[in-house]
Amino acid sequence: MKLTPRAYQLAIYNSVKENGNTLMVLPTGMGKTLIALMLIDEYSKKGKCMFLTPTKPLAKQHHDSIIDVLGLDEKDVALITGEHPPAKRKEMYKKKIVVATPQTINNDLKNKVAGSDYELCIIDECHRAVGDYAYVPIAEALKQSLIVGMTASPGGKRERIKEVLENLKMINIEIRTSEDPDVKPYIKKSTIKWITVQLSPKLRQIKANLDSLTSKYSRQLGALGFPPPTKHKGMFLKLRERILKAKGGYKYQALVKYSALLNVLHMSELVETQGIYPLKNYMEKVDERDSKSAKMLMNTGEIVEIKKLVYSGEEDHPKLKKLIEVVKSLNGKKMIVFAQYRDQIKKIEEELNGNGLDARQFVGKREGVTRKMQEKTIADFRNDDFDILVASSIAEEGLDIPKVDAVIFYEPIPSEIRSIQRRGRAARLKEGEVYVLMTRETRDEYYYWASQNKEKKMKSVLNSMQTTILRERARKEGKPLPKIERKISGQTRISHFT
């Protein structure tokens, strides 16, 4: 093997071998993949190994790393995606090591194209193993295998982490944070700066009209027995299920009001966090719909007024001007700009290039974007052919882009998982900077603090679960209970058996 493991990587590797199915939580850039390769190197001597990862660009990256770091021949490592026909995949599964996307493996296990005879299964970005995601049935099918899940952030809720552990049959947790003494020497610091802007008078007027519609539809839904939790996106989306399960003639009326309110809330998010360009594109799509809720909404006085404002001359969100200022101030440094919406990514790319900056977008496979185009964009970025990658969530997970100096959030996001992953794109090999653009008195502020609070809770929950597992193991083995040390930060760490 070409690379030499650090002490904490070796400790986690030995823990997996000793204790079995393991959830491995490490900060981005701290070498989870090397631990996986060490395990593949060991267990491929006993039988076949599988490495699962959620996207095709990531699968290609891991495939190449296995060959390079372990010094293997290409004929021993298969890269399997849905692009290969079933007959060819069946032959590829005979190879010693298989790297694949989970949807393909899940389908092939169901259809008997693939077998379940694997000594080891590595599951990358394992926080996805909830609900009906393909990782869940795969773990059930490979329950005789050693399963190792890797993530930088499994989630902030105990219930979600517990679901991941149960779905992947995990009986061991290995967590390291940037504060752990065996990790701290390798952490490259990143400074986080948040930059606030105010909505322009026109955007504030549009927001006021949308707020009026939100209040109106919320009152109407409440009167029908379905008061909407408009401040919590996840809970609001679940409200539709409640309406569908309801009995009575008012159900259809409630669904119409719910659909209209869903569109209004999305428009509000666009105007608060993105600007007129994506709002106009979205309104045009709603206008084209033939549904009763869309027609009702688009004929309201508030929307008629908003249309006048939107078409009275396009106005950029103040974030866009601030973004260009920040990028220019970084002067030739390598950076990733993360944005939530595809329309906005296109707009940001155009504006940056129009200001003499070299930017390219990196988005998922849709509207003419192919895997080869994605791979070329990342390869060109690694090779310094351009400096600014304007990316969607596809760049959040695992891609090896080691020389990034700065990460810019065009908007905060409420997910602690995605927030950690975005920040982790910077400061992998050297100190980096993180900038968060935030619009005052909008959901930007709520999202920022929501992700911060969830992240703190995630670390506390993981440490608590790890303590419980170690104590239970000590009792079973007749060893003294582990000594617990509490740091000033409030995080619980496991010390040693005494």
Which comes out higher in pLDDT, residue 173 or 231? 173
Alpha carbons 173 and 12: distance in angstroms, whole number: 9
Q: What is the mean pLDDT of residues 309-322?
A: 86
Which of 437, 448, 442 shows the shortest CA–CA distance to 208? 442
**Average of pLDDT values for 477-492?**
52
pLDDT score of 248 more than 80: no
pLDDT at position 494 over 60:
no
The pLDDT, as a whole number, for residue 326 is 94
Written as six digits, the tokens of 13 are: 């590797």
Which alpha helices (DSSP H) does 274-410 contain, by range?
276-288, 292-298, 301-310, 318-330, 342-354, 371-382
Structural domains present in the chain? 7-179 (3.40.50.300), 190-197+316-441 (3.40.50.300), 201-310 (1.20.1320.20)
- Ranges of beta strands (E only) in 172-251 are 172-175, 190-197
Predicted pLDDT at 29 = 73
- What is the chain's mean pLDDT, rounded? 86
Percent of the chain whose pLDDT exceeds 90: 52
Pick the residue with more confidence: 406 or 476? Answer: 406
418 pLDDT higher than 80: no
Confidence band for 488, pLDDT divided at 50, 70 and 90: very low
For the cut 70, the answer to whether the pLDDT of residue 80 exceeds it is: yes
Q: Which whole-number Å values give the CA distances from 47 to 40, 94, 169, 255, 258, in the listed order?
A: 10, 11, 20, 54, 53
Structure tokens at 172: 């061991």
Q: Are 276 and 347 in contact (CB under 8 A)?
A: no
Question: Quick one: average pLDDT of 345-363?
Answer: 92
Beta strands 388-391 and 335-338: pairing type? parallel
List the structure tokens of 235: 């809970």
Task: Check residue 490 and give its pLDDT.
Answer: 32
The pLDDT tens digits of the residues spanning 99-137 come to: 999 999 999 999 999 999 999 999 999 999 999 999 999
Residue with the larger pLDDT of the pair 403 and 429: 403
The lowest-confidence range among 17-21, 290-294, 342-346 is: 342-346
Query: What pLDDT is stored for residue 486 in this prediction?
Result: 37
Q: What is the reported pLDDT for 57?
A: 79
Give the pLDDT confidence score for residue 298 in this predicted structure.
94
454 alpha-carbon distance from chain centroid: 14
d(CA 154, CA 149): 10
Of the candidate ranges 203-212, 354-363, 409-418, the one whose mean pLDDT is the lowest:
409-418
Residue 164 has pLDDT above 90, yes or no: yes
Query: Is residue 141 scored above 80 in pLDDT?
Result: yes
**Lowest mean pLDDT segment, chosen from 207-216, 373-382, 401-410:** 401-410
Q: Which residues pair with 148 in a beta bridge?
A: 22, 122
Mean pLDDT: which of 142-151, 170-179, 268-277, 461-470 is highest? 142-151
What is the structure's pLDDT at 416?
A: 57
Residue 235, Cβ neighbours under 10 Å: how many?
11
Among candidates 348, 326, 401, which has minimal Cα distance to 61?
Answer: 401
Pairing between strand 77-80 and 492-497? unpaired
Q: What is the mean predicted confidence (pLDDT) over 308-320?
A: 85
Of 238 and 493, more confident:
238
Helix or strand run (H / E) with residue 52: strand 48-52
pLDDT bin (cut points 50, 70, 90) of residue 401 is low
Averaged over 342-362, what is the pLDDT?
A: 92
> According to the model, what pLDDT value does residue 111 have?
93
Would you tell me the crossing angle of helices 251-273 and 233-245 to the nearest 10 degrees? 170
- CA-nearest of 310, 319, 410, 429 to 361 is 410
Look at residue 173 and tell me whether its pLDDT is greater than 70. yes
What tens digit of pLDDT does each residue of 184-234 get? 777 666 678 889 999 999 999 999 999 999 999 999 999 999 999 988 877
CB 345 within 8 A of CB 339: yes
Over residues 363-391, the mean pLDDT reads: 85
Q: Could you give the C-alpha distances from 25 to 174, 397, 463, in angstroms and in order?
A: 6, 14, 11
Q: C-alpha dihedral over 385, 387, 391, 394, to 10 degrees? A: 60
